[in-house]
Structure 1
Amino acid sequence: MANTGTQGPALPDRFVRFRWWGLLAISFGVALIIMDSTIVSVAIPSIVADLGISSTEIQWVQEIYTLLFAALLLTWGRVADRFGRRRIMFIGVAIFIASSVLCVVASSGAHLIIGRAFQGLGGSMILPTTLALLNANFHGRERAIAFAVWGSTIGGMAAFGPLAGGWLIEYASWRWAFGINVPIGLFILAGLLLFVAESRETRGVPGTDVIGALLSIVGFGALVFGLIEGRSYGWWRAEERASFDIGGMSPVPFAFGIAVVALVGFVLWERARDRAGRGVILDLSLFRIPSFANGNVTALIVSFGEFGLILTLPLWFQNVLGFRAFEAGLALVPLAVGSFVASGGVAALSRMLTPVVVVRIGLSLEVLAVLTLAVLIRPDSTPWLTSPVLFVYGIGVGLATAQLTSVVLADVPVERSGQGSATQSTARQTGSALGIAVLGTAFFTTFRTGTESRLADAVATDPSVGQLVDAVIASSGGTISALAADPRTADVAQAARDAMTDGASRAAYVGAAALLLGLLSSLRIRPGVGADQRTVEPDEPATAG
């Protein structure tokens, strides 16, 4: 039967014959975003040493990207539906390349922050369009394989990024952490032009929803800001170390208040425009599709559990086990290998099992692996202990992440796949920000209180020990190796190692609980007959809108 959605002229032959090359270009687009985010986190110490930037600038180098990325996803998803998904992705990659060059030549913290802001803009154009292009250009069993490759790229790059970043920083310069984006981006641009068919919505819905776009940007931007900054600024009262406050109050509650008002206003505005038959940023009728509504809830919960682990493990590897940046990245490689192995197995599984069942198998493996880490990790652990567990975790990520995306979009009409993809991406981004906030708080709070309690007697006897404790907490464990090298402060280093291990274990327990909740949530997903089951008959030409 014909693929539902918008009909158009037959695709040029090269788009049909070389569609898998097009998949490679689209997947590299996702890799560009994920790898850049993870490399930057590894590069921060070198950036500080070279540019001498302040702690506030460090924070914004990391977070301006996430803030703009999450705030703009919905808007670009809708724009892509109207003006062409390949076109918007192409522009996004071009912006990402140009902004990476800005970061490479940065001479100050402000310069680097501007470059990162434009990277967030480009990234917000890339991610939803990759999903929409897959949804529009692949069908049936091929679609399951395409989403498996897409999802495995996310899991693999999340682990490969720190490895690449560590190698570049140790043997070249932190500037190459951004410079590597240029050749990859040029490869993506060529692949998009040569092998990816354009698709867009052709329904004539009047009006451009500018107010809806502004409300979504303000709402999601404020929400992500609050989630990210809660630990730094304080969740209610301003922390003593906070660089900004409002009459002693943290700005975080105000951010959440703005988010609630803007997002409620966004929903009401979208409903009113939809009833009037005018164009909207988000078609709320999509949430009447059970697989879409329940799948987005599951995606948010799963991202909560997955991204918190990526935050805590590199810190634990470097500060507790004493790994260099490159060695910490190498320790995460089993996760990437497992993710890629899973992508190879999805084709066989898709012949026997539905995507929802594959999602549940993947989530079960993730829960098992994270629980095992929580139980087994200790201050004297080795990669021989963590590698098999991370490999299993990677397989779970490879199975669950991609097929969950496939399930969420399975029954979304092709002509609205940009909106559906952007909504799914926003749910994941919100979940990851929430996971980083909650798991990061569990990790760092346990680290702080555990170190202080273990050294309480020593601090009471010698107040200078208290200064060492403050220093090791302020550096997020970065001073542990220096303290361990001095016999006079070795006890402080050991107490900090034990406390950080407890923090990593507690964060893993919280992450496992979130993933288990996501697994239970997936039981509510009941896909109908939609894009997931569509095939194109052999005698029917492939079409695109």
Structure 2
Amino acid sequence: MEQHRPSSWGVLLIVSLAVFILVIDTTTMEVSISALVHDLDTNASTIQTIITIYTLVKAAFMLIGAKLQDFIGRKKAFLIGAAMYGIGVFTAATSQNAAMFLVGWSILEGIGTVLMLPATVTFITGTYEGKERAFAFGVWGGIAAAASIFGLIFGGYLTTNHSWRWVFALELVILLIIFALHRVLKETRPTESWKSFDRGGAVLSVLGLMALVFGILMVKEPSEWVIVPFLILGGIILLFGFYFWERRQIRNAKGVLVDVTILPERSFLAGNVVAIGQKFVSAGFIFIFPLFYEMVTGASAYETGIALLPMTLGVVVFSILGARLSSSVEPKYVLLLGIALAGAGLAALRDVFSLTTTAHDIFPGSLLFGIGLGLVLSQLTNLTLSSIRSERQTDASGIYNTTRQLGSSLGTALIGIVLALGFVRGLPSGQPSPYLPGQPLLSIGISDAAINQGMEWAFVAMILVVIGMFLAGLFIRKTGKIV
């Protein structure tokens, strides 16, 4: 391993650029629904379906995308994914109707993502060691979290003042930079042949993850609740079947999609639980805060993103500082401190929301939450993946990124439901919700009690998840100061 080559940090640059476009792409589209409906001559339900399909593709095929590194090599898998993603971006940018946008964004970009994202993790584990690896993973996590808020700001600005299509133009420029720098990426030789590809495991994992994630996403639709238990239970049963199928494959010395024997490793399992919680809380916060701010004040997505700038800065700065801190402090303690600070930030925000809330009111709590989140991200990925031996890093990265996708889906679905239930609970008895899309709640006489109750319930739910993260973090083994 040549850690000190001048080009070695070029790997981190490519990885960071890749993660950046993968995250802002999703956030930007979520704040551009109205513009997409108008420009593609469709309706909001169709656009929501396209977003759901994109989420399903990423979650269902992430394990396969990671495994392909073993069959064709890490660099080749990444570059094929980047090329496919680029074709998808161009198709989406030039879409004239919803069908064309579905193919470009949901399918081609989705498949490109499952090839690129796991490789960004294994590029880091394969290139860096010690404090350099801790620093690289801190940057990786910080960029991913900050990009979601940058998507609100940048995407909101372009959608409001220009066009959502310009977001894809930015992504194409970044992809060209990635291809221009690709020579700094070191190729790895395939370690398995196509004959050993685990088709049975692939089918079980895809069907199980698709059913589970679709069921989770449908929680947001009360009219579909009748099928939700069947989807979620069916997904869980299929995933259990996948687990035992993989164990059988291992016993028979046959090829596997994922080496599931790494799952019981204490630090890896605990780290994945913390990762689910972190994505749950992050996605939940990014979902409900813009919803509140735009509904109450009529603020644009761009203005909402500006209100979250302190949180963004906290995430970016402390994800980098936290990685440096691990050379003088036990990384596990930095992680636990970050979880505690994130919980404290959520607790500070729990009771500040009302019809008269301003950006100044949420500044202290959101900054503290961002600082805590940054510290968590500075340690979590490294602590989780470093517990797995190097030859199983593709399996570990596939599982890790899949659990993160599950956490994100859970956060947006469940926190949205908790918010709605609290909101209804806070309404005066017998009063229906008079909210009309696009109309600020401030202008239609909604009571402070309803707003405060809904947001308080949502934040209490996120605080409970953070407590669970802290308990899971206690089971992560100490690694000693990173040198």
TM over 0.5: yes
User: Which residue does the alignment assign to 1:139?
Assistant: 129
Query: CA separation in 2, counterparts of 1:423 and 1:289?
Result: 13
Residue 298 to residue 67, structure 1, CA distance change in 2 (3 Å): same
User: For residues 9-37 of structure 1, what are the alpha-carbon distances to aligned partners after superposition, in whole Å with 9 as ceiling and x for unaligned?
Assistant: x76x9x82211122011011111111111
Residue 498 to residue 479, structure 1, CA distance change in 2 (3 Å): farther
User: Which residue does the alignment assign to 1:520?
Assistant: 471
Q: CA deviation at 1:236?
A: 3.9
User: Which residue does the alignment assign to 1:279?
Assistant: 255
Residue 397 to residue 172, structure 1, CA distance change in 2 (3 Å): same
Query: CA separation in 2, counterparts of 1:164 and 1:501?
Result: 29
Q: CA deviation at 1:200?
A: 5.0
Structure 1 stretches of 5 or more lacking a match?
A: 1-9, 238-249, 457-465, 485-489, 536-545
Q: CA deviation at 1:455?
A: 6.8
Q: Do residues 480 (structure 1) and 440 (structure 2) align?
A: yes
Cα contact 2:11–2:123 (8 A) shared by 1: no
RMSD across aligned positions (CA): 2.3
User: Which residue does the alignment assign to 1:499?
Assistant: 450
Larger Rg: 1
Q: CA deviation at 1:49?
A: 2.6
User: For residues 244-277 of structure 1, what are the alpha-carbon distances to aligned partners after superposition, in whole Å with 9 as ceiling and x for unaligned?
Assistant: xxxxxx3x23322431332122112101111111
Residue 390 to residue 188, structure 1, CA distance change in 2 (3 Å): farther
2:326 to 341, 344, 350: 350
Q: CA deviation at 1:389?
A: 2.1
User: For residues 319-351 of structure 1, what are the alpha-carbon distances to aligned partners after superposition, in whole Å with 9 as ceiling and x for unaligned?
Assistant: 113312211111111121111111331244112
User: Which residue does the alignment assign to 2:156?
Assistant: 166
Query: CA separation in 2, counterparts of 1:528 and 1:413?
Result: 14
Structure 2 stretches of 5 or more lacking a match?
A: none
Q: CA deviation at 1:233?
A: 5.0
Q: Which amino acid aligns with 2:234?
A: I
Cα contact 1:235–1:253 (8 A) shared by 2: no
Paired positions, count: 482
Task: Describe the SS at the equivalent of 2:139.
Answer: helix
Query: CA separation in 1, counterparts of 2:474 and 2:376?
Result: 13
Query: CA separation in 1, counterparts of 2:336 and 2:479?
Result: 17
Q: CA deviation at 1:374?
A: 0.8
Length-normalised TM-score, structure 2: 0.93
Query: CA separation in 1, counterparts of 2:236 and 2:385?
Result: 27
Cα contact 2:345–2:368 (8 A) shared by 1: yes
Q: Which has the higher contact order (CA 8 A, sep 6+)?
A: 1
Q: CA deviation at 1:285?
A: 1.7
Query: CA separation in 2, counterparts of 1:329 and 1:448?
Result: 27
Q: Do residues 184 (structure 1) and 170 (structure 2) align?
A: no
Cα contact 1:291–1:527 (8 A) shared by 2: no
Q: Which amino acid aligns with 2:344?
A: L
Query: CA separation in 2, counterparts of 1:112 and 1:203?
Result: 35
User: For residues 518-538 of structure 1, what are the alpha-carbon distances to aligned partners after superposition, in whole Å with 9 as ceiling and x for unaligned?
Assistant: 011100111569xx96x8xxx
Task: Describe the SS at the equivalent of 1:231.
Answer: coil
Query: CA separation in 2, counterparts of 1:398 and 1:471?
Result: 35
Identity among equivalent positions (%) equals 31
1:33 to 19, 22, 43: 22
Q: Do residues 365 (structure 1) and 341 (structure 2) align?
A: yes
User: Which residue does the alignment assign to 2:304?
Assistant: 328
Residue 165 to residue 131, structure 1, CA distance change in 2 (3 Å): same
Q: Which amino acid aligns with 2:78?
A: M
Q: CA deviation at 1:428?
A: 1.4
Cα contact 2:276–2:407 (8 A) shared by 1: yes
Cα contact 2:31–2:155 (8 A) shared by 1: yes
Q: CA deviation at 1:394?
A: 1.5
Q: Do residues 227 (structure 1) and 216 (structure 2) align?
A: yes
Matches within 5 A, 1:184-333: 184-191=174-181, 193-200=182-189, 202=191, 207-232=196-221, 234=223, 236-237=225-226, 250=227, 252-333=228-309
Query: CA separation in 1, counterparts of 2:79 and 2:478?
Result: 32
User: Which residue does the alignment assign to 1:157?
Assistant: 147
Residue range with higher mean Cα deviation, 114-123 or 23-32 = 114-123
Q: Which amino acid aligns with 2:122?
A: A
Residue 211 to residue 526, structure 1, CA distance change in 2 (3 Å): same
Cα contact 1:377–1:501 (8 A) shared by 2: yes
Q: Do residues 92 (structure 1) and 81 (structure 2) align?
A: yes
Residue range with higher mean Cα deviation, 387-396 or 397-406 = 387-396
User: For residues 492-537 of structure 1, what are the alpha-carbon distances to aligned partners after superposition, in whole Å with 9 as ceiling and x for unaligned?
Assistant: xx33x753443222211111110111011100111569xx96x8xx
Task: Describe the SS at the equivalent of 1:16.
Answer: coil
